[in-house]
Structure 1
Amino acid sequence: MTTTVGDATEAAPAPAPAAPPALAARARDVGASPVREILALTARPEVISFAGGLPAPELFDAQGIRAAYARVLAEQPRTALQYSTTDGDPALRAAVAGRLTRRGLATGAGDLLVTGGSQQGLALLATVLLEPGDVVLVENPTYLAALQCFGFAGARVVPVPTDEDGVLPDALEELVRRERPKLLYLIPDFQNPTGRTLPERRRRAVAEVAGRHGLWIAEDDPYGELRFEGGHLPWISSYAAAADRTVLLGSFSKMMAPGMRLGWLRAPAGLLRACVIAKQAADLHTSTVDQAAAARYLADNDLDAHLDRVRTAYRSRRDALLAGLPAALPAGSTWNRPDGGMFVWVRLPEDRDATALLPTAVAHDVAYVPGAPFYAADPDRAALRMSFTTHTPEEIAEGLRRLAAAFGGAR
């Protein structure tokens, strides 16, 4: 439409464009990871960070991994660079199955799905198991990204009462009876964020609760190979009561390199097939060349010898952190002593708020992760998580000196 005034012709103003449709409610309601945001905040090289759950990069077997990629690309470039099956590289699945079997969990390659880290395995489980409103039980506190994953699925997350050894079986049974959950999510070994380990008798009790009441268990095990003390405990998946309803999630991130983004999911046949279909919709398959290189690495190298070196280094770093905490923390603070993994769980005195204190710590070029975001309910403001893996004992000692200054003096 035009308007004529004398000899001039003017175009009518175009209507304002309509706003695009809103984001899905789940995208609006699930917040970003505070841990990831803290990592960005503390990226300055002068910061000694106890925040990230990062493997020590100097301990990566870069030479062995480089050789594995080189051999794969030299010997099988046409297949290594091509599309692949969703289930995963047969040689890699066979290698994982062999490791699980040798540790007491009889597994075949056909029982496994290769995933983009164990995190994708958890997302696939949420996709195929959870309807909006379904109840998921979790430890309190628990892995933050699991809370995000269940939030995106629209699940109602209910915390199970815990103590220093993990979930309380009697409390779990009571919650199962009352809430009728579809899924229980656990990290039995060196839990993130607390570093605690679920004792064998409780693992058996959890399996029996699942068997009696008919719920799925997601058993997340990214840290189990990082044991410094004691013997390996049986997976919940190994108990007959839960064998047909437990999904074991594993990862090469802590054993080989997190940048390869390789994990696996072990599940009963029907659920495994559903996860394969969900993965087809998500990404078709995990990187072919990364899987082939991992399989080649496992065939050509002694992963257990490499892990021995990693565990030795991490044990000394844990010990350095524990030795320095009494002088670094305020009087009345408490902490645990994990038998492995990557984390120590600290609790400051009741009048201290770990979140409120973090900016002061960062100003002193040291960082940690406040514990509150890890809780599904009733967060403990005095709690915080400290990772000991990324820095040498000398750097840990310096970081603790800075933390003591930030907290206002040693105890």
Structure 2
Amino acid sequence: MARLLGDWRQGTAYMDLAQALKALILDGRLSVAARIPAERTLAASWGISRNTVASAYQRLREEGYLRSRQGAGSYAALPDGAERAPRALSWVPGQAVDTHIDLTCASLPAPEPAFSLAVAETATRMARHSDGHGYDLVGLPALRQAIADHYTARGVRTNADQIMVTVGAHHAWGLLLRLLVRPREPVLIDSPTYPNALEAIRSHGARPMPVGLDDAGWDVDLIESAVRGTRPAVAYLMPDFHNPTGLVMPDAARRAVVDAALRSGTYVVVDETLSEVNLDAGPLPPPMAAYGRSGAVISIGSLSKTVWAGLRVGWVRASKSVISRLVAVRGPSDPGNPLVQQLIACRLFETYDDLLRARSEELVAQRTALTDVLRAQLPQWRFTVPRGGLCLWVDLGAQLSTKLSLAAGRHGVQ
């Protein structure tokens, strides 16, 4: 236990000890139901007072991280509703955080002046639509066409009737889960992956089936074996500037994964929210939809990472039949797509390529600043500079992630 705790003392002794023990439980380094050393034993190991240990244990009991039985000792626990890291530390959209710096949301401020100009022009365009009811489940025709044209320019011929506009990419993923996956069915995912996508699978009642990435990226043989063995309804993948590793899936791997999915009847849902955050402007393999036949590949995207998360405009690119079925899934309880945001998005797509270039220049400067500081201040941390995306995946060299998160919180960093 002393080895696992490491150097836990920062301020108030019993509070620091309680936080360190909680970190071990959330990390999984201390398993639920594992017996905790007696107060006297732990106090002797650290050369601290028994009262300090007793106060720390009492704090953990109050928070639900420790359960004690008379004569049977104390055991690690998780309070009701708590989850092991990373979910316990993941950001919930809309959650207020009392911090000075928030690193939990990979998003940027709106690009100016382009965004303000688009908003100003929308007031004039809005009047042209005011004679209708304004309720829309599939998307403004002009915006669907703009998104379709953008896919065609990327090498995947697309018609407007293959596009559904959604309230962000997360909304799109939730709709696809409702349409394609029954409760308790397996969903193949990368590991690690975007935490909120994983949470959506669990909330739907489906079973995540993680396939690990290594330093080289995707293990195609492992994916093929998993798809062949379990025949999941859906495989959720992020092949372009993967969140959080920043990796890009090679052309041959894309082809092999789609072929395996076709053989097993599995839909491949490709999250392309970061596909155009291409910081080095290097060539990318064709979108995975270019390899699919009969609508086996479904793409989801949004303007959250390239423009602004507050705009809440996303989309699904799929076969016409899937789009029609998605409309039925949304149904009367879905408030639909706000017209104002769609009109702003239409205006932004008119100069989207210029906007992407400006964004890349901004992000390249930020990436350089971050990596320079890490190399100078934390040379023991190891990382590969990503070609794109908004994440830097760092090997800390030890199991320190939860402890680091807790320490960062004390310094106003979420």
1:65 has 2:142 as partner: no
Q: Is the 8 A contact 2:154 2:287 kept in 1?
A: no
Alpha-carbon displacement from aligned partner over 1:262-299 (angstroms, at most 9, x marks no partner): 11101122222211111224414211222123224434
1:98-247 alignment, distance < 5 Å: 98-229=149-280, 230-240=282-292, 242=293, 244-247=295-298
- Give the letter for the 1:185 counterpart: Y
- SS of the equivalent of 1:219 reads strand
* Alpha-carbon distance in structure 1 between the residues aligned to 2:174 and 2:332: 12
* Alpha-carbon distance in structure 1 between the residues aligned to 2:358 and 2:88: 31
Alpha-carbon displacement from aligned partner over 1:317-374 (angstroms, at most 9, x marks no partner): 111111111233362x211211111000011122x4211222222323444xxxxxxx
User: Tell me, which stretches of 5 or more residues in structure 2 are unaligned?
Assistant: 1-79
Q: 1:34 aligns with which of 86, 89, 106?
A: 89
- SS of the equivalent of 1:137 reads strand
Task: Note the C-alpha offset of 1:56.
Answer: 3.3
Task: Note the C-alpha offset of 1:307.
Answer: 1.4
Counterpart in the other structure of 1:50: 103
Of structures 1 and 2, the one scoring higher in RCO (CA 8 A, sep 6+) is: 1
Kindly tell me the number of residue pairs found equivalent between the two proteins: 332
Q: Is the 8 A contact 2:110 2:307 kept in 1?
A: no
Please, which moves more after superposition, 267-276 or 90-99? 267-276
Q: TM-score, normalised by structure 1?
A: 0.75
Task: Note the C-alpha offset of 1:238.
Answer: 0.6
Counterpart in the other structure of 1:345: 393
* Alpha-carbon distance in structure 2 between the residues aligned to 1:290 and 1:306: 17
* Alpha-carbon distance in structure 2 between the residues aligned to 1:60 and 1:34: 35
Structure 2 vs 1, CA of residues 59 and 140 (structure 1 numbering), >3 Å: closer, same or farther?
Answer: farther
Alpha-carbon displacement from aligned partner over 1:127-163 (angstroms, at most 9, x marks no partner): 0111111110100000111111111221111111322
Q: 2:353 aligns with which of 304, 308, 312?
A: 304
- Give the letter for the 1:233 counterpart: P
Alpha-carbon displacement from aligned partner over 1:105-133 (angstroms, at most 9, x marks no partner): 10000001110001111000100111111
Structure 2 vs 1, CA of residues 297 and 326 (structure 1 numbering), >3 Å: closer, same or farther?
Answer: closer
* Alpha-carbon distance in structure 1 between the residues aligned to 2:410 and 2:96: 11
- Give the letter for the 1:313 counterpart: E
- Give the letter for the 2:141 counterpart: P
* Alpha-carbon distance in structure 1 between the residues aligned to 2:113 and 2:173: 25
* Alpha-carbon distance in structure 2 between the residues aligned to 1:258 and 1:281: 25
- SS of the equivalent of 2:300 reads strand
* Alpha-carbon distance in structure 1 between the residues aligned to 2:131 and 2:253: 49
* Alpha-carbon distance in structure 2 between the residues aligned to 1:75 and 1:132: 43
* Alpha-carbon distance in structure 1 between the residues aligned to 2:93 and 2:294: 39
Task: Note the C-alpha offset of 1:95.
Answer: 0.6
* Alpha-carbon distance in structure 2 between the residues aligned to 1:35 and 1:87: 31
Counterpart in the other structure of 2:369: 320
Q: TM-score, normalised by structure 2?
A: 0.74
Q: Is the 8 A contact 2:268 2:298 kept in 1?
A: yes
Q: Is the 8 A contact 2:115 2:348 kept in 1?
A: no
- Give the letter for the 2:376 counterpart: A
1:355 has 2:410 as partner: no
Identity of aligned residues (%): 30
Q: Is the 8 A contact 1:50 1:366 kept in 2?
A: yes
Task: Note the C-alpha offset of 1:42.
Answer: 5.2
